[in-house]
Structure 1
Amino acid sequence: MRITLEEPLNLKETLESGQAHRWRQIDGKYSGVIGNVLVHIRQSERTLIIDSSSTLESEDFLLKYLRLDDDLEHIYAHINKDERVRTMTERYRGLRLLRQDPWECLVTFICSSTTNMKRISLMVENMSNYFGQKLELGEDIRFTFPTSEDISNTDEKTLRELGLGFRAPYVLNCGKKVQAGDLDLNTLIKTPYTEAKEQLMSLHGVGPKIADCVLVFSLDKLEAFPIDVWVKRALTDWYFPNQKPPSNQDLLVWANEYFGEYAGYSQQYLFHGRRLLDSKPTD
């Protein structure tokens, strides 16, 4: 399947910007699992070339995942408040937020607590390989992400053995709550941001940052502004230099007021740009 792009998209920067943790490069293309489908995708200028393990999915499913319905030019006009953000949007032009499955996104970002992207990917793949259904595309073999039922029926010991460590009871608790119907993640899409965030933070192991990640990366809350170590470093160094760093809560209030309804997009550009800037070797 081929999709002609009508809007800007930088597939590489989008898939490698720390939003999702199941994409990997093989033979010049990206391999990832979206829902129950194994997808191979590559970009050639303004064309996406896609192969998938299922012929049942239409291109709409990928357009939705890549948020190609977002008007990036309109968003840039709102978030390019200063030279810092403008530099990042020009450097990584076409980087889009992803619209992920809320359950997978929640579990993934619980796993992100106090660790790095490589370790997050390892935990996610370990769980998928253990619980998931096998998918094949050519010689590529992957597994679906575990369902809330899979997680609710397992135990903490198994999750710890899969590398989750102290996160295991949090993931297990979430699985039980979602499976029991105590938390309906999909209804949060239509729930106001503040209320949706409060509901997510009622879960053990979910603080403000994890809640905001789930809200912006899976629940269409583009005003959400997750603050992790990279974003805090970007904000304190670039916007509040030579002073005592503001608290995360103060930074969040400031960012929401400064960047407005598309704060989540500005956050992703600042996060990605600052992380890559700090990872460059120095002379």
Structure 2
Amino acid sequence: MDKIFDCGQSFRFEKGGDGVWEGVAFGRVLRASQDDAYIYLNCTKDEYENIWENYLGLDADYDEIDRDIASRFDNDVIVAAMEAGDGIRILRQQPWETLCSFIISQNNNIPRIKSLVAAICREYGEAFEYGGKTYSAFPTPEALLGAGEEGLKSLKTGFRAAYLISAAEHCRDGLDLQKIRDAYTYEQGMQELCKIKGVGPKVASCTLLFSLGKTDAFPVDVWIRKTIDKYFGGELDVSALGPYAGIAQQYLFYYERSLQ
């Protein structure tokens, strides 16, 4: 669970002192922990099969995925990265929340991203009760449009407020994120998302990888750029990495961060 929730995919989960990760997804509270033998989730069997198995990527054959990735590299670093990142799964998150989260991530660090996402949810998301506590779902596009740019800026989102409003306007005006997931290629999805003000290749590729099922997406941030420079002489042909390039990216991202 640590490797899944602490590698920059999702910004709504926190680890408690008891070792349990807690967060909100799909309007529900998920509590997740793991020992050497089992994964523990606070859900029914039906909820696991209908929501959380897919969300956590537990239905994917990562042994086969890892074999495919290893066959495409002639550099031993991927072996070390896969060993270090063993257990990582690509989350299948809600696309709208993921798009907004990575818009917020621009020129930001993970603690501040989490703080801003939490503030937006608290202020504009629908509240619900669970276990005697109040939680908030991620706000809808309509809720962000109702807040307006100034409302979002009041939460210290800065220049990102205009980008969030642009994303909400695109959704209002017909952007179909589910269609991108179900019917578009990675390249088509990238083209569509980059029509949104403030959305460039990194935000678009993160959205495609972490919520729209495009595991061939390969986001390049500071850590990945450093990895490419350090281990691949500054050049990496992402197109040769095949259908799981994005999973290879997560292994490399986790590996390089773990060395710091």
TM-score by length of 2: 0.93
Is 2:107 the counterpart of 1:114?
yes
Asked whether the equivalents of residues 135 and 143 of structure 1 are also in contact (C-alpha less than 8 Å), the reply is yes
Q: How many residues align structurally?
A: 255
Deviation, 1:276, is 2.6
Structure 1 CA distance for aligned equivalents of residues 31 and 129 of structure 2? 11
Asked whether the equivalents of residues 225 and 256 of structure 1 are also in contact (C-alpha less than 8 Å), the reply is no
Report the AA paired with residue 186 of structure 1: Q
Residues 119-158 of structure 1 correspond to what in structure 2 (within 5 A)? 119-158=112-151
2:253 aligned partner: 271
1:6 aligned partner: none
Structure 1 CA distance for aligned equivalents of residues 26 and 225 of structure 2? 32
Report the AA paired with residue 188 of structure 1: I
Residues 1-283 of structure 1 correspond to what in structure 2 (within 5 A)? 11-26=1-16, 27-51=18-42, 57-80=47-70, 81=73, 82-181=75-174, 183-189=175-181, 190-240=183-233, 245=234, 251=236, 254-257=237-240, 259-278=241-260
Asked whether the equivalents of residues 149 and 179 of structure 1 are also in contact (C-alpha less than 8 Å), the reply is yes
154-163 or 57-66: bigger deviation: 57-66
Structure 2 CA distance for aligned equivalents of residues 146 and 29 of structure 1? 25
Asked whether the equivalents of residues 24 and 30 of structure 1 are also in contact (C-alpha less than 8 Å), the reply is yes
Structure 2 CA distance for aligned equivalents of residues 14 and 209 of structure 1? 20
3-state secondary structure, aligned to 1:165? coil
100-109 or 34-43: bigger deviation: 34-43
Structure 2 CA distance for aligned equivalents of residues 129 and 118 of structure 1? 16
Deviation, 1:47, is 2.1
3-state secondary structure, aligned to 2:40? strand
Deviation, 1:255, is 1.8
Structure 2 CA distance for aligned equivalents of residues 114 and 276 of structure 1? 21
Deviation, 1:59, is 3.4
Structure 1 CA distance for aligned equivalents of residues 227 and 34 of structure 2? 30
TM-score by length of 1: 0.85
Structure 1 CA distance for aligned equivalents of residues 112 and 189 of structure 2? 28
Residue deviations 1:62-112 (CA, integer Å, cap 9, x gap): 001011121100111111223211111112211111101000000000001
Structure 2 CA distance for aligned equivalents of residues 235 and 255 of structure 1? 11
132-141 or 143-152: bigger deviation: 132-141
Deviation, 1:58, is 4.4
3-state secondary structure, aligned to 1:105? helix
Q: Which runs of 4+ in 1 moved over 4 A?
A: none
Change in CA separation of 1:35 and 1:271 when aligned onto 2, cut-off 3 Å? same
3-state secondary structure, aligned to 1:95? coil
Asked whether the equivalents of residues 38 and 136 of structure 1 are also in contact (C-alpha less than 8 Å), the reply is no
Structure 1 CA distance for aligned equivalents of residues 109 and 131 of structure 2? 30
Deviation, 1:153, is 1.6
Structure 2 CA distance for aligned equivalents of residues 159 and 17 of structure 1? 26
Residue deviations 1:138-179 (CA, integer Å, cap 9, x gap): 354321111111112221111011121000001011112202
Structure 2 CA distance for aligned equivalents of residues 139 and 51 of structure 1? 15
Structure 2, gaps ≥5 residues long: none
